[in-house]
Amino acid sequence: REENDVDSDEEQYDEYEKYMMEQQKKYGGRGRTKEKYRKIPLKSIKLRCLFKLTSRSLCTIAKVCGSTLQDLSLQHNIMIEDDGIVAIADNCPNLQNIYLRDVRKITDESVIYLISKCKKLKKIDLRGCSKITDKTVIEISKNCKKIIYLNLSRCINITDASLQAI
């Protein structure tokens, strides 16, 4: 990545922070710092194909939406990494549906952590997540008792071991 790309991400995040602070003041909030977030009671967020959405922004979203978030779609967001998924896991315990199609930088570690923290998961879409292996699928089969939908299409590291675990 070039230095200009990093500066652009920082500027984009700072603009988001500025916007959120303005909205907070406009609608009766007390203002906030990066450590203090007003909760927004959204149940569903679709953030598909936002090619510049980073894990840093996802961490902010997780803190703002927190325990009310049940449905999250992050399909085709190429900049999201494991730390963004960990932030979702830590802040969104009532998550039921997560769509991570073609979020190619995430690994087994963050998805397994998500599964361990979000016990209400019913739908998981990992299509095209090329770093996901049998390890994740085996953990899903052990720990996601409410699962009704699992998409593993184009997960190139999935083998027969996963199918036997399911």
Cα Rg, the chain, nearest whole Å: 17
Give 2-33 pLDDT, tens digit per residue: 444 445 556 655 666 666 666 556 555 444 44
pTM of this prediction exceeds 0.85? no
In this predicted model, what pLDDT tens digit does every residue of 83-110 receive, in sequence order?
A: 999 999 999 999 999 999 999 999 999 9
